[in-house]
Every structure is written in C-alpha cells, then in structure tokens.
Amino acid sequence: MIVAGPTASGKSALALALARNLGGAIINADSMQTYRELRVLTARPTPDDEAAAPHVLYGVRPAAEPGSVAWWRTAALAAMDEAHAQGRVPILCGGSGMYFEALVHGLAEIPDPGAAARAEARGLLAEIGPPALHARLAVADPATAARLLPSDSQRLARAWEVWRGTGRGLAAWQADPALPAAPWDFFAVQLDPPRDELRAAIETRFDAMLDAGAIEEVRRLLALGLDPALPAMRAHGVPELATFLAGDRSLDAARLRACQVTAQYTKRQATWFRHHNLAPQACTEIFLARIDAKAQVSERIMAGITNFLSSRVDAPQHGT
C-alpha cells in the first residue's frame, strides 16, 4: 500500500492508523527521513509511533552519505518482502515522488557521472543560480529541462552533471528503465488537502519542531562540518536555522522563511502527485483533507483496501 502526499498533509498519522487496522509495517518513502541526524526537522515517527507498529528505513543513513533513488528502491523492495514474510501488509509512506515512480514504474540505471561533472554542476549552481542553470540546461538537454522548474536547484544540478558526465540527458536515460517495475500490485491513498489547511499545518508543525529542539539539532549538524551541498544540509529548516545560529537572521525571520520554503515545496509535491499514476491498477483513493494525529481510517478507504487485498492471492503481487 502507498500513502502519499505533500509535507504536513498527515501521511504518517494515516499510515499508522492503517498499520493498526491491517497489521502493517510502515516503510519510509521520504528522502530526508532516511538521515539519522534529522529526527526533529523531518518529523520522523516518535518512539510511541514506533512501538505501535514496525517502522523501517527511518534514520538509517548518516547525513554525510547522500541517498539515492536506486538505493531506496533496493532497500524498500527488501523491506516489503520481509514484511510480507512476517504476514504484515507493507505500507509505503512518504512524499518523495521519484521514490514511488522508481518502485511502481521502474528505474533507469544511470552511470556515475564522475566527480568532475558533479563539481561543475555545484559550481555553476553557486555561481549563476538555479534559473540561469535551467536556461543552460534548456539548450544542452531541452527534454530534461522541460520537466524541471527553474527553482529546483537539486534536480537541476543532477541533470547537468548527468548530461556533462555521460554525454546523454537525464530524460533520455529515464526513457529506457534498466530496473523493472516492482513485482507487486499497489493500492494508493493520496492526500491532497486545501492549500490553506496545509499552510496552517506547516506553521504549527514548525513551531512544534522548535519546541522539540530543532535549533540544537541544526547546531549539532553544522558541527559535523559537512559539505553544504549535501541533501541533508538543504532539508527544510536547516539553512534557515543555520542563518539564525550565525546571527544573520532573527528567529522569527528564520521561522517565516522556513515555512515559506516548505509551502512552496508542498505545492510542487502536490502538482507532481496529481500528474503521476501511483497505482497502475487504478486503485488510487484521493483524500481531499489533511489527516490529523488522531486519524480515523474512513470506511470508504478500508472497504477499498479490503476489496483490493481479497482479490489477490498469497503472493507478492497481492502486496500493497
């Protein structure tokens, strides 16, 4: 089963409620929640949540080692098989659309572009900024550039380094997946709450993060002396609180900026999920409300899941 949607839409609460109802194991499908140093700022499950149902692939990588879609796909497939062997329903929960895309539809096996190409991409990003890099990419690799927003710095750098390092655009590589779709059927619940609800939830959540020690978490992360280009160093809230700790921004200004950046990101997430098919079997429920911490699974969702599972026999393909 897939539980997907933008940040702060209530995915974790819904996944936990489903795990309790179905006897499920929750498998992380959020790229930032894989980093062990970012428990607070990524809103990882609490110890009480982890005691209520198995949680897998949370906090399993150091911030110094960037994850990848290919790594996650391999780890998620292994976790799904293990949950199935234990008689549990695998519940994939997260907001990283490319993770779901790689699992459900397959993944291109792209050669390593090399250190020189990576350094060039990061250098250009710092020198000319994301919009100008997007303009250059549109000339060099128009097919890939057409898929990316001019503000999406991480994906722009990745696209540039792939083009420079392999001589072939990212879109061209992705058009011919080397790793096939997972041998499972999927039932997906997609959260798509109204924008005003989501913005309010983002602000409430960030305030709770501050109360839970987000500033100290960022202080400890900065003390590691990591490359600022690493994904963990760009997690929402990290750059903003880093400027506060450096004395360059007030806490109120850092809070405001972190909430703005997160809201902008959730808009891109929601757009991505609306235009991608998370369940090729057309078993996708769209839930147009934010789920709170006391989530109750609706009868409609449970009826759909029950029908979906009962139509499959005891094999990985009947998975979720």
pLDDT of residue 280: 65
State whether the Cα torsion 233-239-241-246 is positive or negative: positive
| % of the chain with per-residue pLDDT over 90 | 62
Residue ranges and CATH numbers for the domains of the chain are 2-107+178-318 (3.40.50.300), 115-174 (1.10.20.140)
Q: What is the pTM of this model?
A: 0.80
pLDDT exceeds cutoff 60 at 175: yes
Beta-bridged to residue 93, according to DSSP, are: 3, 28
**Residue 52 Cα to chain centre, angstroms:** 23
Residue carrying the six token digits 């292994």: 78
Mean of all residue pLDDT scores within the chain: 89
pLDDT of residue 177: 65
178 confidence band (pLDDT: 50, 70, 90): confident
138-157 average pLDDT score: 89
